[in-house]
Amino acid sequence: MEEDKSKELYMFKKTLQELKSKKGKGTELISLYIPAGRRISDVTQYLREELSQSSNIKSKSTRKNVQSAIEVILQRLKLLKDPLEKGVIIFAGMVPRSGPGTEKMETYVLIPPEPIKTFIYRCDSQFYTEPLEEFLEEKDTYGVILIDRSEATIATVKGKNIQIHKRLTSGVPGKFKAGGQSARRLERLIDDAAHQFMVRVGEHATEVFLPLLEKKQLRGILVGGPGNTKNEFVEGDYLHHELKKIVLDTFDLCYTEEFGIRELLSKAEHLLKDLELMKEREVVQRFFKELIKEDGGLAAYGEKEVLEALIMGAVDTLIVSEDINMVRVKIKCNNCEYTEELNIKKDELPKLEEALKEKTCPQCEGALVIEETKDFIEYLSELCEMSGTKLCIVSRETEEGAQISKAFKGLAAILRFKLHQ
């Protein structure tokens, strides 16, 4: 289940990137969002009207392109069946490949991850993708407040992201005693300053968190820091009463800066385990724990070793970094049955095409051509499906993801059994 989601999300993101890069010549790219439960015949009806309206478009080429895009969508609709469970999203339009005159009709049909609520029909020079991005955005957010006597950090944790919203310093006097001040006066000064500071932190927390709460996106607030200040802050009247209700717990931490959040995440594991970020951490840490074993444990990394294990069905969990940027290329001979497959970096594709011009088929000396290229992660996910392997696609924004990406070239695995003794 989990791993399906990981792959689905990845493919969805990939398509989104693709869609965003498309530009039509005129306002002739059509985006259509059909809500869950809407009857297909209603939509067909709507499009027919649009089609007849479009005859008013002045530019001849735009008119032609819009009309053919609508036609394509009408064709596609015929393939769909009522009722639409989550609704459907269709993009269609003539997109230039390189210069003018190279336009080709492109169509995308997407099943959204969540039901669509509103009907949208748009005709523009770009595909309208904002609602798609909203689907991708993690809705569940946790608020984090780190506080001690001298400083505070207000942050949110959402999906795979940690975002720092505010850093505050208190100006509360330290232990150094200024000459001439009585101990009692100094104490009062410190108490006052500490109180003022907590009031400020509370105000900033309200500013950041309350709107999220109103949007029903805030799952809870975690408060941490060294010493007792955090408790004073939570128990006192500093937080907005609505926010106070959702304080999940307080944590003893050494730090109040960004790395305090890391400390907090590891201490609050049990509360946050459904966060994408935590799942990613858990898997990567599990890989590391295998790696540290004297004989390398059940860890594998490096393209060759991992693929070998994967094909043998020996991989329990495959960890791949979303920025791996590779493609699986299928090469075939124009003349005989010969084929060959290899994995290369996406940006090496033109070089490979060049190289192929020089090379010939090892069997019949015919010309070699690229028959197919496939996204490497997509290829891996197919292999995973076949062997029941869990797939974990890690992002480069998290520390663990960065470690997989940089130290292990984006590919690592936890094995079911050891391949070599």
Query: Residue 259 or 417: which CB sits closer to other proteins?
Result: 259
Query: Residue 263 or 276: which CB sits closer to other proteins?
Result: 263
142 is a contact residue toward other proteins (CB under 8 A): no
Cα angle 361, 364, 370; round to 5: 30
Which of 34, 92, 408, 413 is in the footprint of other proteins by CB under 8 A? 408
Query: Residue 92 or 278: which CB sits closer to other proteins?
Result: 278
50 is a contact residue toward other proteins (CB under 8 A): no
Neighbours of 3 (CB within 10 A): 18
Which of 263, 276, 280, 322 is in the footprint of other proteins by CB under 8 A? 263
Which of 266, 325, 334, 339 is in the footprint of other proteins by CB under 8 A? 266
Question: Where in 331-390 is the site for other proteins (CB under 8 A)?
Answer: none
Distance CA 366, CA 338 (A): 10
Which of 26, 173, 220, 366 is in the footprint of other proteins by CB under 8 A? 173
Two tokens at 208?
Answer: 């950041």
Minimum CB separation of residue 244 from other proteins in Å reads 22
Torsion sign over Cα 377, 382, 383, 388: positive
Residue 18 backbone phi and psi in degrees, to 5: -60, -50
Which of 255, 331, 368, 413 is in the footprint of other proteins by CB under 8 A? 255
Cβ 25 vs Cβ 61: under 8 Å: yes
Span interacting with other proteins, options 35-43, 76-84, 116-124, 223-231, rule CB under 8 A = 223-231
Residue 88 backbone phi and psi in degrees, to 5: -150, 155
Which of 80, 111, 136, 254 is in the footprint of other proteins by CB under 8 A? 254
Query: Residue 64 or 267: which CB sits closer to other proteins?
Result: 267
Which of 47, 74, 120, 291 is in the footprint of other proteins by CB under 8 A? 291
Per-residue CA distances from 177 to 170, 183, 292 (Å): 17, 8, 50
Cβ 154 vs Cβ 201: under 8 Å: yes
Question: Where in 175-214 is the site for other proteins (CB under 8 A)?
Answer: 175-179, 183, 187, 190-191
Residue 147 backbone phi and psi in degrees, to 5: -150, 140
Q: Which amino acid does the sequence have at 192?
A: D
Minimum CB separation of residue 16 from other proteins in Å reads 26
Distance CA 191, CA 178 (A): 16
Distance CA 16, CA 157 (A): 23
35 is a contact residue toward other proteins (CB under 8 A): no
Distance CA 164, CA 385 (A): 38
Span interacting with other proteins, options 3-11, 80-88, 259-267, 361-369, rule CB under 8 A = 259-267
Minimum CB separation of residue 32 from other proteins in Å reads 42
Per-residue CA distances from 350 to 163, 165, 214, 242, 329 (Å): 38, 43, 51, 57, 12
Two tokens at 388?
Answer: 């029941």
Number of residues in contact with other proteins, rule: CB under 8 A? 42
Span interacting with other proteins, options 7-15, 30-38, 166-174, 327-335, rule CB under 8 A = 166-174
Cβ 283 vs Cβ 412: under 8 Å: no
Query: Residue 128 or 251: which CB sits closer to other proteins?
Result: 251
Cβ 173 vs Cβ 194: under 8 Å: no
Which of 18, 103, 138, 257 is in the footprint of other proteins by CB under 8 A? 257
Residues that bind other proteins (CB under 8 A): 149, 169, 171, 173-179, 183, 187, 190-191, 226-229, 252-255, 257-259, 262-263, 266, 285, 288-289, 291-292, 301, 399, 402-408
